[in-house]
Chain A
Amino acid sequence: MKNTDSAPRKSRSFIQDVWYRFKKEKLAILGLVILLIIFATAILGGFLLDYEKDIITQDIPNKLASPSFQHIFGTDGFGRDIFYRIVWGARYSLLIGFSGSIIGLLVGGLMGAVAGYMGGTVDAVFMRIIDMFIALPTTILAVAIVSVLGPSLTNLIVAISIANVPSYARLTRSSVLTIKDNEFIEASTAVGGNGVHIMMQHILPNVLATLIVQFTMGVGWSITTAAGLSYLGLGVTPPDPEWGNMLSEGRDVMRYNSNLVIFPGLFIMVTVLALNLVGDGIRDAVDPKLKN
């Protein structure tokens, strides 16, 4: 290795380190770029488009127009510009996807970590609750929650969050269980670390890689599930555009005016794909064993 008196190799923080390795993954960068573009359009769209005028005002004479320079993705059954509606809808989809996953991650992660670390009764109680949720298929669970609370954006986020909790809880718990029995945990106790210290300093960084991957994939899942619920009329309600309910609105005319479903569908697909690419990239980047 290097000689003794050379200065320490450039010191990088954890985040810098991850970014350095992430940069090398071409596909992950592609995913990230796509995601940023979608984010940027969603944010810009909020400023440039007028909800009343561009999004919900109907223009029946112009209905079901094919893509043209004026309406690049064509118009829907009420003559509204599909591109504008997709841009506006991105705000809903991203909001639901990310907030649902973040809440699911925090609640599920905390439950799983506590259950795994404490073990015993706490573990049993928490995990039986989680098992109850797992017993129901997630989509059905979300449907049930929305039907009880009524369709609205907030309730949809609540439903998606709850549906997300079990997978994070189980994943975190099992990771914590494998990490907890390592000798380095005992070693940390032996230098005087308490439970919280060990959790934050030693267990969390080890679990993080798995959680981040699950999170990025989970956002994709949340977006598709939210779209599915909206498609069923249980999510964002018309006339607000959401990718899922745009699919639902285009369903009747799909045969002759396929642009009504193709474009929202394409956006769902590309967003989820981009998220998965980023997830893979992060997984490789946070694992120092793959570092070369």
Chain B
Amino acid sequence: MENILEIKDLHVQYQTSEDTNYALNGIDLNIQKGETLGLVGETGAGKTTIALSILRLLQSGVGQIKSGDILFEGKSLLELNDTEIRKVRGDKISMIFQDPMSSLNPVLTVGDQIAEAIDLHRSLSKQELSDMVDSTLELVGIPKSRKNDYPHQFSGGMKQRVIIAIALSTNPELLIADEPTTALDVTIQAQVLHLMEELKQKLNMSMLMITHDLGIVAQICDHVAIIYAGKIIEYGTVYEIFDKSREHHPYTKGLFGSIPDLTVETRRLTPVKGLMADPADLPEGCYFHPRCDECMEICKNKVPDSCGMGGEHYVRCHLFKERQV
């Protein structure tokens, strides 16, 4: 399979007047053509930073890509100048933002906002543009009669559909979905996910699905990467990650331990103890060691390497070091 996106050893820092936040600390990630990669991690792990780095949307002066490279279809995105990156944004790579309530401009009709991306990248006549807006709206299941309505006349789920429509209007090759369903309730979540899955099949695009919801991952992802404090700590196919007979990173086990299991009777869920590592003051060695139940002496001073666990499954933990090939 050909990789559409390759992230190589990406380091990103947020520089504020007080301190430096190490948001990403050497991310290696590949997305294959036509597949969906799930990026899972808790708040502050660096999920959104990855998305923003790909589109080069990091706040200038604050967020800096320190080293590493991002290749899209074999070409580096980091070397493009402003005009060239604008041609990639929205055309080749689209992004769905987290909050549908604030991602739409309240004073423009939804039709105008869908037309925006198309208009920026294609030179079409007014009629063709309007036809394309109609078909995009119908693609996401909104009657085209509503294109002259304003965002506040839509419900949350409908707004998220509009945002998906904007992202899909140019037939992008890669869609970055940054927690597309967090702001929605469960029923609408299911609808939106179903829709995205359907559209992905129809348009044959690749997708980077950023989420902290393992249910979503199981539903639509092909591969899963689990991120902690700006490092990928486990990677594998969705079957490998959800396979309980396999061995996992202690953090992954913790994540699964915090989901309710209908088949087992327990009074409480088991959370991962402690808090996310402070990106301004990362611990020595393995970033997870202060919260890890299986912490060893070596974890406190040496950063673990990635160990192959068979198949496409990789875990970054000292526990499995001996098995490294």
Contact = CB atoms under 8 A, between A and B. Distances in A.
Interface of A: 1-12, 182-184, 186-194, 197, 201-202, 205-206, 208-209, 286-289, 291
A191 B116 contact: yes
Interface stretch (B84-92, B266-274, B286-294, B296-304): B84-92
A193 B88 CA distance: 11
Contact of B108 (A191, A197, A205): A205
A192 B90 contact: yes
Contacts of A9: 145-146, 148-149
Nearest to A209: B107
Contact of A191 (B138, B146, B166): B166
B111 to A, nearest CB: 8
B147 interface: yes
Contact of A183 (B82, B99, B138, B147): B99
A190 B120 contact: no
Interface of B: 55, 57, 82, 86-91, 94-95, 97-99, 102-108, 111, 116-117, 120-121, 134, 138, 143-150, 152, 163, 166, 170
Nearest to B112: A201
B97 A183 contact: yes
Contact of B89 (A2, A4, A191, A291): A191
Contacts, number: 104
A208 B149 CA distance: 19
Given A190-B90, A191-B116, A288-B152, A184 B105 contact: yes
A192 B91 contact: yes
B5 to A, nearest CB: 16
Contact of A192 (B86, B99, B138, B149): B86
Given A8-B148, A182-B102, A183-B102, A191 B117 contact: yes
A289 B106 CA distance: 8
Contact of B105 (A3, A10, A202, A291): A202
Given A7-B145, A183-B99, A288 B120 contact: no
Given A1-B146, A9-B146, A288 B87 contact: no
Contact of A12 (B97, B117, B148, B152): B148
Given A2-B143, A186-B97, 7 more contacts: A6-B145, A8-B134, A8-B148, A183-B98, A190-B97, A192-B87, A193-B86
Most chain A CB atoms below 10 A, which of B99, B116, B134: B116
A4 to B, nearest CB: 5
A190 B89 contact: yes
A180 to B, nearest CB: 12
A183 B145 CA distance: 26
B91 A187 contact: no
Contact of B103 (A184, A201, A208): A184
